[in-house]
């Protein structure tokens, strides 16, 4: 099936051919030309839509993926080694390595959760709303065949209305509090070291805190890069993690994900429900 842009291209081509000669269907040369244009544009569009041989990805990568990013075409095709996770239901997006796969188990759990929360059954017959944590990831991506040690994930959780990320203090103050109370509290057997903490704003002025830190325990030594934002009574957390020894190989992809993370108005009234590409 041809896309709207392909149909427009054919129409423009036919109109151009018609201007060459005014004999209409009596001109066999013009008729052959229009047939050729139809054949050419139809096949070109088919190649682009199917991304045959990576042709569409290569074309969209010519400008570094800027046009694809503005049009969100990188949610459909890999561009410059990345694809876009575009979750309009929860209101966020970010880039992840195109070779990584999404965790479909999360999607199935969301479907169950939405059905549970929207159920019309009496409370005793309905499943407990606490059987799954609201703070489950809404999206998760990792290398094929991995154990989950290397991944990018997003958590969307409800917070008090009117909360702003700056309520936590500056980025470093918020990071130190987070590490000491959540990541490595006293008695947990874990230690955390803050590497960097900074803030940025996107094109719409939305504020984000980015934290880079390591977490060590007797069983693991991880490197994390996390981004936090608050909007519409929801707290968004993008987290990238891997073994500390793997950070030199993965940090470029992790930083692309962190810098591309954006939040917007969610379409869903149930936090944590969305769709993964």
Compute CA distances 219 → 162, 185, 215, 216, whole Å: 39, 17, 11, 8
Query: What is the predicted pLDDT for the residue at 1?
Result: 44
pLDDT in tens, the chain (277 residues): 444 444 443 344 444 444 444 445 455 655 654 554 454 444 444 445 555 556 566 666 666 666 766 777 888 888 889 999 999 999 999 999 999 998 866 656 656 665 665 555 544 443 343 333 457 789 999 999 877 889 999 999 999 878 999 999 999 999 999 999 999 999 999 999 999 999 999 999 999 999 999 999 999 999 999 999 999 899 999 999 999 999 999 999 999 999 999 999 887 655 554 444 4
Query: What three-state secondary structure class fits 101?
Result: strand
Residue 196's beta-bridge partner residues?
212
CA atoms within 13 A on the CB side of 226: 24
pTM of the model: 0.70
Query: What three-state secondary structure class fits 81?
Result: coil
* Whole-number Å distance between alpha carbons of 115 and 127: 10
> How many CB atoms are closer than 10 A to CB 181?
10
Query: What is the predicted pLDDT for the residue at 77?
Result: 83
Query: What is the predicted pLDDT for the residue at 212?
Result: 98
Measured in residues, the chain has a length of 277
What does the domain layout of the chain look like in residue ranges?
4-50, 84-263
Query: What three-state secondary structure class fits 79?
Result: strand
Buried/exposed 215-229: b ≥16 CB within 10 Å, e otherwise: beeeeeebbbbbbbb
Query: What is the predicted pLDDT for the residue at 118?
Result: 53
Looking at residue 182, the DSSP 8-state letter turns out to be: I
Helical segments of 1-125, H only? 4-20, 28-50, 55-60, 66-71, 104-117
Check if the beta carbon of residue 234 is closer than 8 Å to that of residue 159: yes
**Domain 84-263 in CATH 3.30.70.260:** no
Query: What three-state secondary structure class fits 214?
Result: strand
Check if the beta carbon of residue 229 is closer than 8 Å to that of residue 165: yes
Query: What is the predicted pLDDT for the residue at 28?
Result: 60
Residue 262: which residues within 8 A CB-CB, separation 6 or more?
A: 92, 93, 94, 202, 206
Query: What is the predicted pLDDT for the residue at 47?
Result: 46
């Amino acid at each position: 099936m041809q896309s709207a842009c392909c149909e427009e291209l054919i129409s423009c081509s036919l109109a151009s051919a018609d201007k060459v000669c005014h004999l209409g269907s009596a001109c066999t040369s013009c008729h052959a030309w229009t047939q050729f244009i139809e054949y050419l544009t139809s096949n070109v569009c088919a190649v682009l839509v199917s991304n045959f041989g990576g042709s569409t990805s290569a074309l969209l990568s010519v400008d570094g993926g800027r046009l694809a990013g503005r049009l969100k075409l990188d949610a459909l095709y890999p561009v410059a080694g990345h694809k876009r996770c575009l979750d309009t239901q929860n209101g966020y997006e970010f880039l992840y390595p195109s070779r990584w796969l999404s965790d479909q188990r999360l999607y199935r759990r969301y479907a169950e959760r939405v059905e549970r929360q929207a159920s019309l059954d009496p409370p005793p017959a309905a499943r407990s709303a606490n059987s799954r944590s609201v703070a489950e990831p809404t999206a998760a991506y990792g290398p094929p065949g991995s154990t989950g040690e290397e991944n990018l994930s997003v958590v969307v959780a409800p917070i008090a209305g009117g909360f702003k990320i700056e309520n936590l203090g500056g980025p470093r103050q918020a990071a130190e509090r987070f590490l000491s109370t959540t990541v490595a509290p006293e008695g947990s057997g874990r230690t955390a070291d803050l590497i960097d903490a900074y803030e940025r704003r996107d094109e719409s002025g939305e504020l984000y805190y980015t934290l880079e830190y390591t977490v060590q325990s007797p069983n693991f030594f991880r490197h994390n890069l996390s981004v936090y934002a608050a909007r519409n009574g929801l707290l968004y957390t993008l987290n990238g993690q891997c073994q500390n020894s793997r950070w030199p190989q993965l940090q470029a992809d992790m930083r692309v994900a962190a810098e591309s993370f954006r939040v917007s108005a969610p379409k869903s009234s149930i936090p944590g429900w969305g769709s993964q590409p």
